[in-house]
Structure 1
Amino acid sequence: MASTSGAVVLNLGAPPTEKLIRGNYLLWKAQGMPALRGAQVTGLLDGSDAAPPKTVEIAQADKTTTTGTNPLYGPWLAKDQQVLSYLLNSLLQEILAQVIGKDNTFDLWTALTTLFASQSQSRIINLRIAIANTKKGNMTSNVFIAKRASAMSWLRLVVR
């Protein structure tokens, strides 16, 4: 994260080329996460980098306190809104309509994971079932894979 004269500038690059639609959540996430990790902003996704208070108590010379703007809030908001924009630009209009009104990164990310986590989990279960029921000739997938692994181990020994 770069900062010039108080402005926060993130180098996230272009949003994922694969826009988020129903059925491609894992692909979309796999394309977007490296940029988010590289910019060190994943704390905005999971809430560990939460917004600092907008205002703070400031002690005066006469030992009274006043309320003033928190200098940490502006840069945090700039960073959050850049990541929010990056994510929103990677959504297809159909998905965008479902998350309209999410005004910070954490709320958007939570909504997206809620929308798509159950779909992804059921796809994983269906793939596991399909693999378990796959046969090669008269061998189940487990037997076939075990034989392949055994053959590959033997081949590695011979080649050395």
Structure 2
Amino acid sequence: MACNRALGDQGGANARLLDIDQVVPSLNVEVTSDDGKTKSKAPNLEFSAWYAKDQQVFSYLLSSLPREMAIQVATCHTAAELWNTVQGMLASHTRARTVNVRIALANLQEGNSNITEYAGKIRFLCDELVASGKKVDEEDVVSHILAGLDEEFDPVVSAMCSRVEPVTVPELYWQLLSFETRMNLRGGSSQSYANAASRGRSNKHNNSSNGGGGGDRGRNFPRQGGGGSGGDRGRNFPRQGGGGGGGDRGRGNFNK
């Protein structure tokens, strides 16, 4: 760690410099005169030695911090004060980061990502939680992966949830990858199947409409075509033709 490098070879022994509860030597000590009648204050050599080491560590820590953080701790006076202030800032940042990662995990969806990309995102966020000191077991990773899958993976989700024995992350990953590969070989996702079904229903409706129109025209042929008119004219021949008149004239001639 940076503090150990700053403390040098005696880092373990000098780690007390970072303890906020350490006993700091007094700045001055009382010195009694030789005759024992007067007392005066003199610089404490122990404090001078302690202060020299403390400022060495303080300077190293301050120079190791980012500028934004160094500005906030510049008013500290000792290495212990600086160190504990930085720890508090980092703890606050870690808590905020942990909350953000948990929110990201809760809202992460597969979307347009393939299984490899989606599982990689889940693993990255879980590793972020582990790095912040939070425990993430394998069941948590499995739950996060299953929660964000699209509807097309519902068969795999149901199969994994109905199992009695625990599901490992590698096993789940290969199951999802295999299912995704099969869907791609069969022509795409469930959305593609839905589009194909929609096109099929549309074509069926159009064919039905065209067939109905042809039937109407077929049924109209006898009512409007030449065959119907010819039939009418044929029935009128006996009433209007010469054969009828000839019959009348013939009967008149026989009677005469």
> How many Å separate the matches in 1 of 2:18 and 2:138?
33
Question: Considering only CA atoms, is the larger Rg found in Structure 1 or Structure 2?
Answer: 2
Query: SS of the residue aligned with 2:49?
Result: helix
Query: SS of the residue aligned with 2:93?
Result: helix
Q: Which residue of 1 aligns with 2:226?
A: none
Q: Which residue of 1 aligns with 2:10?
A: 39
Q: Residue 32 of structure 2 contacts residue 40 of structure 2 at CA under 8 Å; is this kept in 1?
A: yes
User: What is the correspondence of 1:97-116 to structure 2 with a 5 Å cutoff?
Assistant: 97-116=71-90
Residue 29 (structure 2) pairs with residue 56 (structure 1): yes
For structure 1, the 5+ residue unaligned runs are: 1-30, 146-160
Q: Residue 3 of structure 2 contacts residue 57 of structure 2 at CA under 8 Å; is this kept in 1?
A: no
User: What is the correspondence of 1:1-160 to structure 2 with a 5 Å cutoff?
Assistant: 31-35=1-5, 36=7, 38-40=9-11, 41-47=14-20, 49-63=22-36, 64-120=38-94, 122=98, 123=129, 127-128=134-135, 132-135=139-142, 138=160, 144=168
More helix by share: 2
TM-score (norm: length of structure 1)? 0.57
> How many Å separate the matches in 2 of 1:75 and 1:126?
37
Q: Which residue of 2 aligns with 1:20?
A: none
User: Per-residue displacement from partner, 1:105-159 (whole Å, max 9, x unpaired)?
Assistant: 01101110111123335455785358552118838xx7639xxxxxxxxxxxxxx
The structure-2 alpha-carbon separation of the partners of 1:51 and 1:57, relative to structure 1 and needing over 3 Å to count, comes to: same
Q: Residue 139 of structure 2 contacts residue 167 of structure 2 at CA under 8 Å; is this kept in 1?
A: no
Query: SS of the residue aligned with 2:168?
Result: helix
Q: CA deviation at 1:51?
A: 2.5
Q: How many residues align?
A: 113
Q: CA deviation at 1:49?
A: 4.2
Aligned AA (2:34)? A
Q: Residue 59 of structure 1 contacts residue 66 of structure 1 at CA under 8 Å; is this kept in 2?
A: yes
Q: CA deviation at 1:100?
A: 1.4
> How many Å separate the matches in 2 of 1:57 and 1:133?
64
Query: SS of the residue aligned with 1:101?
Result: coil
Q: Higher relative contact order by CA 8 Å / sep ≥ 6: 1 or 2?
A: 1
Superposed CA RMSD? 3.1
The structure-2 alpha-carbon separation of the partners of 1:119 and 1:71, relative to structure 1 and needing over 3 Å to count, comes to: same
Query: SS of the residue aligned with 2:135?
Result: helix
> How many Å separate the matches in 1 of 2:167 and 2:8?
39
For structure 2, the 5+ residue unaligned runs are: 99-128, 146-155, 170-256
TM-score (norm: length of structure 2)? 0.38
Aligned AA (2:32)? A
Segment of structure 1 superposing worse, 117-126 or 33-42: 117-126
Aligned AA (1:144)? T
